[in-house]
Amino acid sequence: MLYANVRSDRQMRATTGLSLTAFQNLKEVFAQSYEQKHEMALKKKLENLSARAVLSTHEEMLFFVLFQLKNALTYDVLGCIYGTDASVAKRNFESSLAILKLALRQLGVVPKRDFKTVAEFEQYFRKGKDLLIDATARRTVEIPVQCPSKQKDQKERYSGKKKLIA
């Protein structure tokens, strides 16, 4: 497996973004989260599978999900690297990501993202927590606008990106 090829702290940081020590620490909580989510040990679950598992250890699963999060490969490429097809790669990623999220919640490192009321929002930030706002757009969204019927109004609103208005 790809995880077995990592031989140094530098390689671990390059492939997952974590140091070897941080990876090992997270692996312990990841393993506990796996058992909590599936209500059985990984070894027991693997015994029940009819096919060979692509990811057969907690280390491989954690490395797999961190590798994909760091490198953002297509599922076709990820599947090629791991010797499986895109649909299996996607399923493994989504499953491992759910376990990682649970582990991070248990460690208390997931930021609060949703507030039901403004009062709840204000109460949360009275505790002196920092507020980070990600204002980057992942994709451009065009907002449709009703085209004015009068020629003069059309000219005022024209962006200049399309053919000229006579």
pLDDT of 101 strictly over 90: yes
Per-residue model confidence (pLDDT) at position 147: 80
Confidence of residue 163 (pLDDT cuts 50, 70, 90): low
Q: Where are the domains of the chain?
A: 2-107
pLDDT of 132 strictly over 70: yes
DSSP sequence for 81-146: HHTS-HHHHHHHHHHHHHHHHHHHHHHT-SPP---SSHHHHHHHHTT----------SS--PPP-P
Per-residue model confidence (pLDDT) at position 50: 62
Per-residue model confidence (pLDDT) at position 137: 60
Confidence of residue 166 (pLDDT cuts 50, 70, 90): low
- Percent of all residues in the chain with a pLDDT value above 90, rounded to a whole number: 52
